[in-house]
Amino acid sequence: MTRKEFLKWLGLGTAAAFCPAPAYALLSKNSRKSIRGHVFKGDAPKKPWKWSVEGYHYASNGKDVQCQVCPNRCYLSPGDRSVCRSKVNIGGKLYSLAYGDPCAVHADPIEKKPLFHFYPRTWIFSIATTGCNFRCLNCQNWEISQRRPEDVSHYELFPADVVRETKKRKLPSIAYTYSEPITYYEYMYDTAKLARQEGINNVLVSNGYINRDPLLELCKVLDAANINLKSFDDEIYQCLNGGTLQPVLNTFKTLNEQGIWFEMTTLVVPTYVDHDDMIKRMCGWILKELGPDHPLHFLRFFPRYKLTRLPPTPIDTLERLRNIALTEGIHYVYIGNVPGHEAESTYCHNCHKVLIERNGYMIGQFNIVKGKCKFCGTPIPGVWGVNE
């Protein structure tokens, strides 16, 4: 049997042709049971909507389908909806319902993402649809991340429209953000591909819960990312977020090997993500696998969604964890959600002078010249863009 015949036998059709690597086989019956318990049975519309597109990474046996974009690998019988609420099985094909219908469209300072070493002092066109492949108890955007596309008001903004709006506003970049871009992978990929052709940067703001093949495809049109490293403990990931740690670590390694600029964000949830030994292990892994130059942002937690019983993160806890990371050898460590804190600013890792002064999203001093420290000439890792 030839490879083409094999793919046809699996029923992959054009969905498999999008991915250069062979698609994964469907899960075994025993494995299907655990995933089936998380999907929404019988919740799909009867037929695709006018803006629906067929999924780009999935397997099919002609009846059941399995999404292969993220590690959830949702196995859907006809009429089922995925964990992220954005993918459905209609007639033995996987469709994305979150295509061309963003529920959030804004222009933001790029520092909000947060990205501190990528095109600082610029604004970025930001879009999001509903849906998420996690179930974070402390989600700050749960009104859209935990909803179905049909449950919220949305704009009709297809990929070409997004690019046109970005150019109209003379913005250098587009961010796929707010909810979870991995759940609207098809919309993101098509938009990013058009944006790349127009010289516009593409930025992924994500939990990093994505399989390698879709990520490699996305990397071809991706310029930067901020990935949430929610903890360095698998049990905490499952308890707080409904996911697992290793796929996120794999995402960091793939971005690193593909040369994509990325920064890391850790929300310091009290009693869960504030343990010194865990942060030391996390920093050790970062240094070994990624090096010292990718910025790490420790964000202050505030009670949200289903995790209102905890207090905000004490500022001295954030300072302690930052000092640990710096001592371990990470060059750029920031504290976020504490406007006016000195750890919002960028300091040269060699001479320790202020390179970029920040107060919230306001930029004061800017002492990077042609990618180097103005004072000592040390190259500063990042993509400085229009500021170089």
pLDDT band at residue 199 under the 50/70/90 scheme: very high
Is the pLDDT at 162 greater than 60, yes or no?
yes
What is the pLDDT of the chain when averaged over all its residues?
89
Is the pLDDT at 217 greater than 80, yes or no?
yes
User: pLDDT > 90: what percent of the chain?
Assistant: 82
Is the pLDDT at 10 greater than 70, yes or no?
no
pLDDT in tens, 101-154: 999 999 999 999 999 999 999 999 999 999 999 999 999 888 999 999 999 988
On whether the CB atoms of residues 130 and 103 are closer than 8 A, the answer is yes
Instruction: Go through the chain and tell me how many residues it has.
Output: 388
What average pLDDT does range 331-342 have in this prediction? 97
Least confident of 23-32, 131-140, 182-191: 23-32
Calculate the alpha carbon distances from 23 to 32, 72, 149, 303 in Å: 17, 15, 27, 41
Residue 204 and residue 113: Cα distance in Å, rounded?
A: 9
Give the sheet arrangement for strand 224-228, strand by strand: 104-109, 123-128, 173-176, 201-206, 224-228, 261-268, 296-300, 333-336
On whether the CB atoms of residues 300 and 338 are closer than 8 A, the answer is yes
Per-residue tokens: 314: 């004490």
* E strand intervals along 147-249: 173-176, 201-206, 224-228
pLDDT in tens, 228-260: 999 999 999 999 999 999 999 999 999 999 999
29: left (phi over 0), alpha (psi -120 to 50) or beta: alpha
Residue 64 and residue 360: Cα distance in Å, rounded?
A: 49
pLDDT band at residue 8 under the 50/70/90 scheme: very low
The single-letter DSSP state of residue 340 is T
pLDDT in tens, 39-60: 889 888 888 877 799 999 999 9
Residue 180 and residue 185: Cα distance in Å, rounded?
A: 9
Q: Which pLDDT belongs to residue 44?
A: 86
Residue 376 and residue 138: Cα distance in Å, rounded?
A: 42
What average pLDDT does range 193-210 have in this prediction? 98
Q: Which pLDDT belongs to residue 311?
A: 96
Please list the helix, strand and coil fractions of the chain in percent, rounded to the nearest 5, in that order: 30, 20, 45
Q: Which pLDDT belongs to residue 6?
A: 31
For 56-93, b where at least 16 C-beta lie within 10 A, e where not — what string? Answer: bbbbbeeebbbbbbbebbbbbbebbbbbbbbbbbbeeb
Is the pLDDT at 167 greater than 90, yes or no?
yes
pLDDT in tens, 261-280: 999 999 999 999 999 999 99
Q: Which pLDDT belongs to residue 47?
A: 84
Contacts of 350 (CB under 8 A, 6+ apart): 373, 376, 378
Residue 80 and residue 89: Cα distance in Å, rounded?
A: 6
Is the pLDDT at 372 greater than 70, yes or no?
yes
pLDDT band at residue 387 under the 50/70/90 scheme: low
Least confident of 40-54, 61-75, 198-212: 40-54
Query: Does domain 104-387 match CATH 3.20.20.70?
Result: yes
Q: Which amino acid is at 8?
A: K
Q: Where in the chain is the domain with CATH 3.20.20.70?
A: 104-387
